[in-house]
Structure 1
Amino acid sequence: MNPNQSSTPGGAVVSRETAARLAAQTVGPVLLPGEDGYDVECASYNLAVSHQPALVVGVAGVADVQAAVDFAAEQGLPVAMLATGHSALPTAGAVLINTRRMDGVTIDAEARTARVEAGVQWQQVVEAAGKHGLAPLNGASPSVGVVGYTLGGGLSPIGRTFGFAADQVRRVELVTADGRLRVATATEEPDLFWAVLGGKGNFGVVTALEFNLFPVSHIYGGGLFFTADRAAEVFNAWGRWTAGVPDEMNSSIALLQLPPLPEVPEPLRGQMVVHVRIAYVGAAEEGERLVAPLREIAPMLIDSVMEMPYTAIASIHADPPNPIPVQDRSGLLREFTPELVDAIVEHAGPDSGSPLVIFELRHLGGALERRPAAGNASDLQGAAFSLYAVGLGGPNEAEAIHAHLTRVLAAIAPWSTGRLFVNFLTAADAAPEQFAQAYLPETYQRLVAIKASYDPTNLFRATPDIAAA
């Protein structure tokens, strides 16, 4: 190979001379494989996904994004985007746009809105809004990127109370395949606005979002931990309990296999446990009354449910803060039955030999079912619970973990809606035929038509892909 060229496993070749022409147009770095800083620029939260793009651009602003999109179109290369990489897909052969330098957050306390740039993580917004007694519909993990999460719908720990994060977006700024910076709202380019919110990264590179905040300064939240030998009892009791709670009560339940690490509390260290997560939006006294039946199920290892400032909401799920190698799958369930619990315990419980570190069910419904008048492409129609299962391991462990995940999904198939949730899609779901399962047929056909209008060459295909008509 010519020493002035660079290639990736995707087969794309970009010459150093060509890359230098792009670098002359950008403030942020433009890097080829093998160059200093390339691996750092491509690093993501999910260590199981290896990013090896043909070229990576660490964009510093909108003009850099436009230059990178124009370059990719000229070179016939797909565009991929990276902020935090929680749900990253492989990027071999693509032009990877790293948005981490675009980290501005502006809070308008009077209007109860936030404007965030493309690389912002949720904890930045939670803290900035919290200074004004306000809260966003953030993700469970503080290090999840705001934009990628919201474009997938955005299922917040308080989503039953206020709906999808996507429902609260007022304005989207994005660079489309023609290199134009567009503004999309419910009244300005409404088709694009509808499609972007739920269509993931198929329609352009979002450079900024403006969305509503809520006057929530405190919640009644935390976790109840039980021994895994009581899994069936706790799961069944939680399932019955969810049937009678108000929209202000948000909860999930998980089987956790926690590592024997010093940072894990002693009663949980190196153990499989059942973790019930609570986030009640309302007075602590009422939250305590509603949670009381759960406290009576069985003796607890830890009870951390209490009134807390909203800025501490990340402590409820307590997701690992540092990058980890994630192998995951997801699903949507239409109902919760004792037979479902039997299947879960058999395939993910203490005697299953499961390699999974997390098997989680989230209670849906409430405001998630009340779609806004303007609408968007996000919905969970027919789903009462979401499922998310995770194993930790790199390439050597991936095959065994995915085989087990496949068995788990097969075991719970009788309760599945047959659909997926965009936020939890993985590489196994990224092809158009799998991605279509995240939508109602009429929704997907509308997305395809809008994709054909705004991205007819499918430039933005290094994402869960809506194939242009």
Structure 2
Amino acid sequence: MNHAAAIAALRDRVRGEVLLPGDDGFAARCAGFQTAYRHRPSVLVRAAGADDVAAAVTYAAERDLPVAVQATGHGLSVATDGGVLISTARLTRVEVDAAARTARIGAGTRFAAVIDAASRHGLAPLNGSAPGVGVTGYVLGGGLGLLGREFGYAADRVRSIDLVTADARSRRVTADSDPELFWALRGAGANFGVVTGMEIDLVPVSRLYGGELVFDLARTPGLLADYLRWTETLPEELTSSVSLLDYPDLPFFPAVLRGRFAAHVRVAYTGDSRDGERLLAPLRALGPRLSDTVAEMPYTECGAIYDDPPQPHAYQGDNVLLRAFGPDQAAEVTDLVGPGAAVPCVLDVRHLGGALGRPAQVPNAVGHRSARYLLRVLTPLMGAGPDEARAIAGKVLGALAAESVGGRFQSLVYGGCADGPPAAPATDFWEPADHRRLAALKKEIDPANMFRLNRNIEPAG
């Protein structure tokens, strides 16, 4: 069958759209939130359901083509040049079962829709800082969220996964139906097929004491070390992070931040606001704040805590998981990203522990749970190029290499940092024994490595 006939046959099978380079809307529909890297497939299938996904997988398998999957494009790691891109952006259903405290979602659903639907029942999903992020990629990559220290990783709270595998078979995977594949999908999901839907747990949270404290590091230079000391005695109900950023004196930044090296401490506390005030008192005593937005809020406003930019943009990011993080190291990395840094970047430190440090009730492939902190370097690719971004990330993360637990958190590795420097291969997204187990399953489920345009696990052997 020639190419034109094959595409015509594919279009006959697909209820959604089949687009080729040059077709109206092709470029726009391939685009995602990440603008530094983008998919350039030979065929784009915008699926309207699992049958469309199966048709696209069959087309790719018959031609030995790789398959990439995209819903929102926030976590793009490897862009396809040729091959088949399956967009799940149209699969956006949300059905909440309030009695069971679960939500059934389509693979293109964003967290904002789940937050809204769940809030009507006094419930919330385990979302991250940006409600515009797609649920599927975030959850199956682990899901390190606003409520993580209390409720664990989002991947720990998955009930079932609807999946199309490399043989174009649609299946619902649960802990009972296929325990090995269920284990693998929650932590390495993109390697084993195309997810078309999931059922996830919701938690009984309807409000928070949350927001951010912003400090000028010229007036509180030891803020990062002070933050680390503060986290040592926090209850699990409080999840927090701190970000350092040297703001250029440019008009598109808020006037209060322009030309300042600032620290943003973000907090989400599910306990009583009066207890929250007491817990935050040591931070507030460190010095004057440029801003202090921490207050009682409905969970539907949780996106305001980080206030992540909603506009698509270009960026790279990498991280390291740490067993310890001392004051000398805090001073060193603060200097590396402060005024005079070769490349402007964001230094982000997440406080782990609590439920994040315990095994999931139903085991999964999210590992390195002994880590106490995650340190991330995020570089906007405005004045910097990809190589410069990787260089600054390597320098900052290298300063803490001695305290690494031996891994990175895959959901917070973006763009050209996906493969990492030679000292940090892609295999360090998983613990060694887990990686061997994943590779063995990959050989069984996807022996041709059709699903390789991701943080890839090669089939064993």
TM-score range, shorter chain: over 0.9
Q: Which residue, 8, 19, 31 being the options, matches 2:7? A: 19
8 A Cα contact 1:231 1:274, kept in partner = no
Q: Which residue, 417, 430, 435 being the options, matches 2:426? A: 435
Q: Which residue, 449, 453, 466 being the options, matches 2:457? A: 466
Compute the RMSD of aligned alpha carbons.
1.9
Alpha-carbon displacement from aligned partner over 1:397-434 (angstroms, at most 9, x marks no partner): 22222222222222222222231112123343349982
Alpha-carbon displacement from aligned partner over 1:88-141 (angstroms, at most 9, x marks no partner): 121112211011110001111111110100000111111111111101100111
Other structure's SS at 1:329 match: strand
Instruction: Give 1:449 shift.
Output: 1.2
Q: Which residue, 235, 240, 252 being the options, matches 2:241? A: 252
8 A Cα contact 2:214 2:290, kept in partner = yes
8 A Cα contact 2:183 2:363, kept in partner = yes
- The whole-number CA distance in structure 1 between the counterparts of 2:5 and 2:198 is 35
Distance 1:231 1:407, change over 3 A: farther
- The whole-number CA distance in structure 1 between the counterparts of 2:410 and 2:237 is 24
Other structure's SS at 1:199 match: helix
Supply the AA of the counterpart residue of 1:249. Answer: L
8 A Cα contact 1:222 1:277, kept in partner = yes
- In structure 2, the partner of 1:320 is 309
Aligned positions of 1:80-119 closer than 5 A = 80-88=68-76, 89-119=78-108
8 A Cα contact 1:53 1:96, kept in partner = yes
Alpha-carbon displacement from aligned partner over 1:343-382 (angstroms, at most 9, x marks no partner): 21121123434411x2100000000112123200012333
8 A Cα contact 2:140 2:187, kept in partner = yes
- The whole-number CA distance in structure 2 between the counterparts of 1:105 and 1:430 is 34
Other structure's SS at 2:188 match: coil
- In structure 2, the partner of 1:8 is none
For the pair 1:452 / 2:440, whether they are aligned, the reply is no
8 A Cα contact 2:245 2:338, kept in partner = no
Distance 1:303 1:45, change over 3 A: same
8 A Cα contact 1:194 1:376, kept in partner = yes
For the pair 1:151 / 2:140, whether they are aligned, the reply is yes
- The whole-number CA distance in structure 1 between the counterparts of 2:251 and 2:274 is 34
- Decide which moves more: 441-450 or 189-198: 441-450
- Decide which moves more: 51-60 or 269-278: 269-278
- The whole-number CA distance in structure 1 between the counterparts of 2:357 and 2:224 is 24
So what's the TM-score if we normalise by structure 2? 0.95
Alpha-carbon displacement from aligned partner over 1:122-178 (angstroms, at most 9, x marks no partner): 111111111111011001111111000111010001100100101110011100111
Supply the AA of the counterpart residue of 1:107. Answer: V
Other structure's SS at 1:201 match: helix
- The whole-number CA distance in structure 2 between the counterparts of 1:458 and 1:353 is 39
Alpha-carbon displacement from aligned partner over 1:238-287 (angstroms, at most 9, x marks no partner): 10010000100110000124466767443124533100000011111111
8 A Cα contact 1:94 1:462, kept in partner = no
8 A Cα contact 2:70 2:87, kept in partner = yes
Distance 1:297 1:395, change over 3 A: closer
Other structure's SS at 2:177 match: coil
- In structure 1, the partner of 2:337 is 348
Other structure's SS at 2:143 match: coil
- In structure 1, the partner of 2:409 is 421
Supply the AA of the counterpart residue of 1:18. Answer: A
Q: Which residue, 325, 328, 331 being the options, matches 1:336? A: 325
- The whole-number CA distance in structure 2 between the counterparts of 1:252 and 1:101 is 33
8 A Cα contact 1:172 1:206, kept in partner = yes
- In structure 1, the partner of 2:20 is 32
Distance 1:189 1:179, change over 3 A: same
- The whole-number CA distance in structure 2 between the counterparts of 1:394 and 1:60 is 36
Structure 1: which 5+ runs fail to align?
Answer: 1-13
Distance 1:261 1:97, change over 3 A: farther
- The whole-number CA distance in structure 1 between the counterparts of 2:342 and 2:296 is 37
Other structure's SS at 2:13 match: coil
- In structure 1, the partner of 2:275 is 286
Q: Which residue, 199, 205, 212 being the options, matches 2:188? A: 199
- In structure 2, the partner of 1:389 is 377
For the pair 1:236 / 2:209, whether they are aligned, the reply is no
8 A Cα contact 2:220 2:286, kept in partner = no
Number of residues of Structure 1 aligned to a counterpart in Structure 2:
455
- In structure 2, the partner of 1:137 is 126
Supply the AA of the counterpart residue of 1:75. Answer: R
- Decide which moves more: 256-265 or 393-402: 256-265
Other structure's SS at 1:197 match: helix
8 A Cα contact 1:200 1:463, kept in partner = no
- The whole-number CA distance in structure 2 between the counterparts of 1:73 and 1:468 is 16
- The whole-number CA distance in structure 2 between the counterparts of 1:116 and 1:453 is 27
For the pair 1:61 / 2:52, whether they are aligned, the reply is no
Q: Which residue, 368, 389, 404 being the options, matches 1:401? A: 389
So what's the TM-score if we normalise by structure 1? 0.93
